[in-house]
Copies of this chain bind each other. A is one copy, B any other.
Amino acid sequence: MKQSEYADRIAATDSSMLAELFIASSDPKNISFAGGYPDQTLFPAQALQDSFTKAIQAGAPGIYQYTDAKGPIDLRSILAQRHLARTNVQTSTDEILITQGGQQAIDLIARLFLNKHSGLGVEAPTYMGAISAFNTYEPTYFEIPLETDGLDVAYLEQQLKSHRGANRIRLMYVIPDFQNPTGVTLSVLKRQRLAQLAREYDFYILEDSPYRDLRYSGEDLPTIQSFDTDGRVLYVSSFSKILSPGLRVGYIQAAPELITELAGLKSSADVQSPNMTLEALATFLNENSIDDHINRMKPIYAAKRDAMINALHEYLPATVTFTKPDGGFFLWLQAPQNVNLLKFLKEILMPEANIVYVPGQPQFATSISMNTARLNFSNVPLEKIEPAVKRMAELLNKYL
């Protein structure tokens, strides 16, 4: 088997290091700050089981047949109502496409807009699963640095000014709320400015917001989409973080003509998602309050975040800085320039302490970053956070 027989896009992604990491991450002898997993003790298992039973019984035999690429109308109708309630943007069922989690939404939107070498704006760093989806379409990346209040909009504007026409940014990928991997939140003024820039410089925005509902401090901010007057924002969300990732349900809310195109692309990608999980989710949302469920989870995740931040404060060397997110699942470590956090992970932290995190490098579309790492706090038992951070900090101190 010759590697050269694969398409060029395959060479672009070396997934072996990540594969190794995720094996280590799911090994029960390790403490994992690596994955992006929700805490599985919080899944409402009984209510979900009841929803599956009820939905499948009520839907048979049609539930076993082919149906509609967009997803069932009852679920889209619930999501339209929820979109209004959560983001203050009025919408309807023909503006919603159900996707196989947020991941498929990203893949389909990239497929709609990106030719090879099309300009794609991304935060630096950004969600590594999005990078791997985008690599499929071989775009030209424009990395936009992150500031404490989100992406550097002035830098983006410079890039927009100096790359016009065919070389322009056609799509900007943004995670505005408790960004993966940094935990940073985009300010209101920058959200508003981004929507203006999209109109001025003729590009689309993929607003990816799977963590929006998981805010532990501060106030909800308006979505980028709420400032959009021109149908240029495609809003993506998911039930993976707030309910269950095993369900694989996300959605895109966008202008109806975009949704029609994206539904065609969904057909060509996988025909449709399974009816059973979609109808079970519709039943769950009809018969349970997902907001009550989210409100029960928030203090638990907030306590984990606080435990991690407090321990980092107490034990980390002062030269290593970290973010303090208002929500979501992650925070971001930054060590002095000469410190290699990938090497530290592989040579010391994993073998000596059975602790794993995701090194910064694979979370950048193009630039090199050896002195950074992402820490996840959602999926570690609360009582293990402080001792594991302490142990990591001790080893890092020795390493510096």
Contacts and interface: CB of A to CB of B under 8 A. Distances in A.
Interface in A98-136: 99-101, 103-104, 107, 111-116, 118, 129, 132-133, 135-136
B231 A269 contact: no
Contacts of A202: 5
Tell me the dominant secondary structure on chain A's binding face. Answer: helix
Interface stretch (A40-48, A304-312, A339-347, A380-388): A40-48
Interface string A238-265: 0010001111100000010110010011
Interface stretch (A8-16, A89-97, A294-302): A8-16
A62 interface: yes
A33 interface: no
Contact of A64 (B43, B61, B104): B43
Q: Among A116, A129, A246, which residue has the most Cβ atoms of chain B within 10 A?
A: A246
B56 A49 contact: yes
Nearest to A110: B7
Contact of A45 (B61, B133, B264, B268): B61
Interface in A58-87: 60-67
A66 B25 CA distance: 12
A148 interface: no
Contacts of A359: none
B264 A276 contact: no
A332 interface: no
A111 to B, nearest CB: 6
A170 interface: yes
Contacts of A255: 1
**Complex copy number for this chain:** 2
A10 to B, nearest CB: 6
Given A49-B60, A64-B43, A276-B277, A129 B270 contact: no
A126 to B, nearest CB: 14
B132 A5 contact: no
Interface residues of A, number: 78
A9 B111 contact: yes
Contact of A104 (B41, B240, B270): B270
A274 interface: yes
Given A65-B40, A273-B248, A267 B52 contact: no
Given A5-B204, A7-B118, A52-B56, A65 B37 contact: yes
Contacts of A247: 64, 274, 276
A230 to B, nearest CB: 9
Contacts of A257: 1
B129 A111 contact: no
16 contacts: A1-B258, A6-B112, A13-B268, A19-B264, A37-B65, A40-B64, A41-B61, A48-B60, A49-B56, A49-B57, A64-B245, A64-B246, A100-B270, A133-B268, A136-B265, A136-B269
Given A129-B271, A132-B264, 17 more contacts: A1-B257, A5-B113, A6-B112, A7-B112, A9-B111, A41-B61, A43-B61, A43-B65, A49-B57, A52-B52, A52-B56, A100-B271, A101-B270, A103-B268, A103-B270, A103-B271, A248-B273
